[in-house]
A and B are shown apart, each in its own frame.
Chain A
Amino acid sequence: MTTTPRPGTGPSTSPTSPASTAPGSVVDGALRLAPYWATVLRRTWKGGVISALVTPLLYVVAMGVLLGGFIEVAPGELEGATSYLAFVAPGLLAAHVMTLVIGETTYPVMSGVKWHKTFFAMHATPLGIGSIVLANVGFILLRTLVVSAFFVAVLAPFGVFTTWWGAVLAWATQALVIGAFTTPVFAFAAGLQDETAFALVFRLGMIPMFLFSGAFFPVGNLDAPLEVVARLTPLWHGVDLTRMFALGTFELGPALVHVAYLVALTALGWWWAVRRLRARMVV
């Protein structure tokens, strides 16, 4: 690559210094943000990492092992699981991935457009909106995948996975769960003016989903209309897919539906996120 010296762009522009360029693609632009997100990770990984790892484990011990110790049911009642622990563990994996992701895409994204305005700083450079979203989403994906890998590793000794490849696929499923929550919530946060709405997202969206999307008990136990609602939530699709792999009760048809649903939601969220962030920043 050759660089043409441009006169008059400031004292540091000597004929030999390379000129700045626009990124060739969205991905190229996102990669330029890697150092930023690496710095963020270095500064913040300690805060939250312990609770991110310990909280789900505590839930597994409390609900799966201890409460589960009081539960004796026939496998048919628990979607093929032989114990309540085996039933609840994959559900908790997906449910906690959801809460982690929502945590990463609410206040931090708001901060990017409102408080610290980091997205504005990024956008003042040659980087486009798509690159900014992609870099942030990529960061959340990688980080949450690492955390869920730990979680899967910790769950394994409890004997909740019937096969090792089932465990790997259950983990890989989390990538779909992460995508399906990251992009839509990012989009919501990017356009939001008043952060108090997040409390409503948590209370009316996240917590009910956490509790009623089949993580703790089979959605079949819900009354008919509620069961339909539960089956429409992205978390249920994530939980059911994770559980199929963990318990070895894989069925191709439903699995494909789950994958398609989660991927479609990710794509829709992506489109919305770029649109909302652009509307917020390019005015």
Chain B
Amino acid sequence: MALFTAAVAGETARRAARQGSPVSAVEATRLLVWRNMLAYRRHWPIFVTGFLEPVFYLFSIGVGVGALVTGFEVGGRTVPYAEFVAPGMLAASAMNGALYDSTFNFFHKLRFGKLFDQMLATPLTTMDVARGELSWSLIRGGIYAAAFLLVMVAMDLVSSWWAVLAVPAALLIGLAFGGICMALTTFMRSWQDFEYVTLATVPMFLFSATFFPVSAFPEWLRWVVECTPLYRGVVLIRELCTGTVGWGSAASVVYLVVLGLVGLVVVRRRLDRLLLA
């Protein structure tokens, strides 16, 4: 409820700030996405190679190590190890992509690039900035997710039409991590603080049912893991790719959306404090 009131108050303030602005919210988002595209134009190899990492992991762990593993049970059916790992890699790469944009890149733009100071000297608002940066990150993540899904199809690792929803699911993961991490980044003081990001994400990457099922854990740890956002993303995408969708999938969706929106609200407030001081 408090959150709702805060959101409403924020909305009123935002409307007020936007009053008389020559740029609509949609147009502002489009402009920011377009600026990022311009900036990337010179660095297309970086853009293109961005989707390789999960593919490498899939081949190394899924196929290479997979030759040593018999496979795991998903929804009452034993699937080959590569088929088990692939959705995990898709989810993890959605997380990593969002992370990179919302931590290092965002911090750089915020503290050193003075990019946001520049934007706020124009009719753009802090919400435009937060929304625009996140949108760009999601578009990029969406392209990578789609490419990865094609690799999965080519390798015959997909067994249901539900899998087409894996791309939007990856976007949800991006939204959740992007929102939360951008919010956390606004509190960071130096590059040293990113140590904490590594310390939180490496365990998530390794233990969120990405490489092996949570049955490997004792009961209590299992519960902890099942509450992490990456775990929710991994099982959601695995359910979609294997066609074992259920109420749990819906819960995961709600969970990820809420995380992302909360993050976004916090980001806007923090940007107001940091940049409009």
With A196-B46, A207-B56 as contacts: A55 and B202 at CB distance below 8 Å: yes
Q: Which one of B29-37, B65-73, B144-152, B248-256 is at the A interface?
A: B65-73
Tell me whether A217 and B216 are in contact (CB under 8 A). Answer: no
> Distance in Å from the Cβ of A206 to the closest Cβ of chain B?
10
Q: Mark B84-113, 1 if CB is under 8 A from A, else 0.
A: 000000000000000000000000000000
| A203 to B43 CA separation, bound complex (whole angstroms) | 14
CB contacts under 8 Å to B, within A56-99, are 58-59, 61-63, 66-67, 69-71, 73, 77-78, 84
Contact present for A216 and B65 (CB under 8 Å): yes
Q: Which residues of A contact B162 (CB under 8 A)?
A: none
Known contacts: A48-B195, A59-B206. The answer to whether A203 contacts B52 by CB under 8 A is: yes
Q: Which of A190-215 contact B (CB under 8 A)?
A: 196, 199-200, 203-204, 207-208, 211-212
Contacts of B216 in A (CB 8 A): 66, 69-70
Residues of A within 8 A of B67 (CB): 217, 221
**In contact, A200 and B46 (Cβ under 8 angstroms):** yes
Q: Does A50 touch B at the CB level, under 8 Å?
A: yes
| B52:A217 contact, CB within 8 angstroms | no
| Number of residue pairs A-B, CB distance < 8 angstroms | 91
Q: CB < 8 Å: which of B56, B192, B199 contacts A208? A: B56
Q: Are A77 and B57 in contact (CB under 8 A)?
A: no
- Determine the chain B residues whose CB is within 8 A of the CB of A61 once the complex forms: 206
Q: Which residues of A contact B50 (CB under 8 A)?
A: 203
Which of B49, B67, B68 counts the most chain A CB atoms within 10 A?
Answer: B68
Majority SS of interface residues in chain A? helix
Binding site secondary structure of chain B:
helix
Chain B: interface residue total (CB-CB under 8 A): 31
Q: Which of B34-48 contact A (CB under 8 A)?
A: 43, 45-46
Residues B203 and A58 in contact, CB atoms below 8 Å apart: yes
CB distance from A192 to the nearest CB of B (A): 14
> Beyond A59-B206, A84-B68, A203-B53, is A211–B192 a contact (Cβ under 8 Å)?
no
B interface vs A, CB < 8 Å? 43, 45-46, 49-50, 52-53, 56-57, 59-61, 64-65, 67-70, 72, 191-192, 195, 198-199, 202-203, 206-207, 211-212, 216
